[in-house]
Structure 1
Amino acid sequence: MRVDSLRTASGPTISWRVIECWGAGISLFVQAGAFLPLVLSDADGALSDSARSILRLPCLPIYAFTAVILIRNFPQFLTALRRNLIVPLMLALPFLSTLWSIEPPTTLRRAIGLLFCVLLSYVLAIRFTPRQLLFLVFVTLGTCIALSVVISVVSPSLASMPDGAMRGVFIHKNVLGWYASLMILVATAVLIDGTFGLRRTALVLLAAGVICLASSGSMTAIIATSVAFCLIGFYSLLQRSSSIGRVVIVLFFVQLSLGILISLHEFLVPALEALGKDATLTGRVPLWELVDREISDRWMLGYGYQVFWTVENPEATHIWLLLGWAAPHAHNGYRDILLNFGIIGMILFVLMVPYAIRQGGFLQCHDPQYGWLWLNVLTIMIVVMNLTESIFFVQNDAIFILFTTAIIMFSLYAPVVSVSHSPSWQAPKRALTSGLQTS
């Protein structure tokens, strides 16, 4: 018999649902890297080896919470695995890469951390609806952004980078920019949804997000926020259109996106030079040129998961010497996938993401009452962020956890909604198939 509550020694009972909600919220807050890394870092936001060791300790209770919840909901977990086999394959790649990794122990240790992060994504996907997850993220990110504003007033020196840019409760201004961008999206989604009764709170946190975004000066986050509002309009229009109209809208949006990307590739650097701005994108352009050479040397399988940017790797050391600064990653999530797993990993990733975007669009059109809008926008926002930052497959990172959660949730719900929208003569057969899959 299943027990749905815990009784403490003094008598009161605690429901498992309360444990799930609090555990998930605290897990996301810790994985966001708020406050504790800032306390342990130096003035430039760098972390020593001892500080990194300390930061691993709060992850252990999160791993335990994740394991307990998945064990309690093991049938649903298996269903989520079966409905999207590419995610488990991508999760297996870091472990397989130990076979060719240039530093197998490091690859294995970091692969274990990534494993529990993705397992937490499964917890969020199977135990929360899109609207429930929206509220959870709203509270968690709202806490981070509100604390960032407070600490910038109380202790400006602690909340600022050496160059004066605001970093809030995070170790770097870019990280604050990312979460401020997500906060703006989430607060806007709460305002659009209108079912939470938190309009004033959402407006306050939206304003706080805008302040943090502007004060951080993160261009990646500013661009991602602009893309988010364009996507909100796109998905809202897509939902209200007929089937033929949706095809036209999607084709127009794809062509527009490709046109913008081609224009940026051809004209961005000359435009920046004409305006007197940094045409190297803060050192990213020369970094990418050097990284591309290293990718070509191991284009098939890469160097192994999360081991290229280590002091033990002479290729990374050579890049750092040429650049004059120690890049922690390629500042491009797609290049880091190639460094980690080669073309094999990129093929799996390219199969996974567009299919998830398609499923998300289908759910937005056919099941909008569940609140799919923000997850669709979030997914593409993170895809855009990785053009100049590296967030894909980063262990103990809340943004990648939410990205993976969205992909899993799309694949979990899309088959069910597809059955409900099948022609009447096909519905009994598809319903039976769905029932066998979930049994």
Structure 2
Amino acid sequence: MSVSSIEKFTVNRILNLLCNKLEFVAILLFFIGFFDANIFEWRDRFNTASYGILLFLIILRWKRFIYVATRDISLLLLIGVLLISYFWSAAPEFTLDESKSVVRAIFFGIYLAAQYNPKELMQLFLRMFGIAIIINLIFTGFVVAIGQPYIAISQANNEPSWQGFLTHKQYLGRMMMHAAILFLLSSFSHKRFRWLTWIGFSLSIILLFLSKSKTSWVGFIVGLTLLPILKFTRWHYKIRTIMYVFVVLIAGSIAVLIFGNLEIIVVDILRKPPDFNGRFDIWQLAIEAALKRPLLGYGFAGFWTSNEGLLIVEHTWAASTVGTTNRFHSHNGFIDTILQVGLIGFSLFIFNFFAAVKRVINLIHLTQTIESFWMLEFLILSFLLQVSETLTLISFHTICSIYVSIVLSTIIWQNRLKANVVKFAESISE
């Protein structure tokens, strides 16, 4: 090899290394920023710069990006409904503004699926959540040290609740719930650095506790109850099927028990009024409003700024919580989805979600890998938390980006496995 060739190789290697480092920094910024970070005054600057950074990343791998983005028709249709909802939106200016943020989060998810395989994705998110834990601790310690603890620690129900660098304790709780499950699953497969994963798990549990997010705790417990599925996949098919049915029966019995004694549980255990702090009234009025425009809804981000939405706010307890800078929501992701994109958009989302769950379950049986099981955990927990969450899975949030990356990664993974089976069959026939 000539001197010039060696120099060219060295330069290319340095450039690739630099691009990889910059890419990691960009992904970290998106991961934290899309979680609705509240680190002093950085949010507006980040939102402005994020579009350019993401566009640059996509251009570098535009062919792969387009290929991956077109693997799921139902997701493309859902994005299309979301965007064209501008034309029937009750608040088109809000739809235009916020739909751009959602597309940004979705494109970030597509980019992740295009750039990383499932195992690499799990490792990437493991590092992202780990860094987020450290930043939360450092940021909270810093604002306490400078005498401004209210920036990171809010007061809810006369008790301090950590929110860290995020805008709400529920966001911190949700982040730490997913982090705890991810670190726990990672400890099953990483023997060399198992001590590090247990540290991450312990810190995420501590922050989950400090957030005082009860819904996130419920989600974490549900995540633990799914762990036996890891054992079922290693058994014979018939036994596995029986065990799945058994688990479903137990889960159904528990659900009936909980909902049959809902008022006692809510009042005595969760220490909340039986109407979930007035949410039932909000849900009833929101559903009645949705029935007025059932097919297409009020447009993305269009309902709670419309006359119908403001009327609900004015005549319920929500009037005392909504100011000039924050918008109300139904505290139910399913209802908000129907309000925004109607039954058509909601049906596309439900189809897309359960198709992804079916793929993940098939992949668990075929590969018996931790990353496939983590995907199932994430999908189920994110879906269940929609009952009382402020954000839907299709939103401008990091959870949306992770969801999209899982949906598309499972398609590519499954297609590769099928291709390998075909090649193996052809080799045998020859």
Shorter chain as normaliser: what TM range?
A: 0.7 to 0.9
SS in structure 2 of the partner of residue 298 of structure 1: coil
Equivalence for 2:164: 168
Check if 1:227 corresponds to 2:222.
yes
In the alignment, is the contact (CA less than 8 A) between 2:313 and 2:328 conserved in 1? no
Amino acid at match of 2:45: L
In the alignment, is the contact (CA less than 8 A) between 2:33 and 2:43 conserved in 1? no
Alignment partners' CA distance in 1, 2:233 and 2:293: 44
Alignment partners' CA distance in 2, 1:168 and 1:131: 29
Q: How many residues align?
A: 405
| Identical-residue share of aligned pairs (%) | 18
Check if 1:237 corresponds to 2:249.
no
Equivalence for 2:401: 401
CA RMSD of aligned residues (A): 2.8
Check if 1:292 corresponds to 2:287.
yes
Alignment partners' CA distance in 1, 2:150 and 2:209: 18
Amino acid at match of 1:299: P
Equivalence for 1:216: 211
Alignment partners' CA distance in 1, 2:394 and 2:206: 27
Aligned positions of 1:94-105 closer than 5 A: 94-105=82-93
Deviation at 1:87, TM superposition (A): 1.0
Alignment partners' CA distance in 2, 1:386 and 1:59: 25
Amino acid at match of 1:399: I
1:315 to 295, 298, 308: 308
TM-score by length of 2: 0.85
Aligned positions of 1:411-426 closer than 5 A: 411-421=411-421, 425=425
Which range moves more in the overlay, 253-262 or 399-408? 253-262
Amino acid at match of 2:290: I
Which range moves more in the overlay, 254-263 or 420-429? 420-429
Give the direction of change, closer, same or farther, for the CA distance of 1:153–1:108 in structure 2 (3 Å limit).
closer
Alignment partners' CA distance in 1, 2:428 and 2:67: 20
Aligned positions of 1:23-62 closer than 5 A: 23-36=26-39, 39-40=40-41, 55-62=43-50
Deviation at 1:105, TM superposition (A): 2.4
Which range moves more in the overlay, 74-83 or 402-411? 74-83
Give the direction of change, closer, same or farther, for the CA distance of 1:246–1:224 in structure 2 (3 Å limit).
same
Alpha-carbon displacement from aligned partner over 1:216-259 (angstroms, at most 9, x marks no partner): 1111100111111122322x023212333333333333444444
Give the direction of change, closer, same or farther, for the CA distance of 1:30–1:198 in structure 2 (3 Å limit).
farther
Considering Cα pairs closer than 8 Å and 6+ residues apart, tell me whether 1 or 2 has the greater RCO. 2
Equivalence for 2:4: none
2:76 to 76, 88, 92: 88
Amino acid at match of 2:133: I
Check if 1:324 corresponds to 2:317.
yes
Give the direction of change, closer, same or farther, for the CA distance of 1:96–1:217 in structure 2 (3 Å limit).
same
Check if 1:392 corresponds to 2:388.
no
Alignment partners' CA distance in 2, 1:276 and 1:191: 31
Which range moves more in the overlay, 361-370 or 103-112? 361-370
Which range moves more in the overlay, 293-302 or 12-21? 12-21
Alignment partners' CA distance in 2, 1:142 and 1:148: 10
Give the direction of change, closer, same or farther, for the CA distance of 1:287–1:260 in structure 2 (3 Å limit).
farther
Equivalence for 1:436: none
Aligned positions of 1:258-269 closer than 5 A: 258-269=252-263
SS in structure 2 of the partner of residue 165 of structure 1: strand
Alpha-carbon displacement from aligned partner over 1:177-209 (angstroms, at most 9, x marks no partner): 1111111012112211216x4323222221111
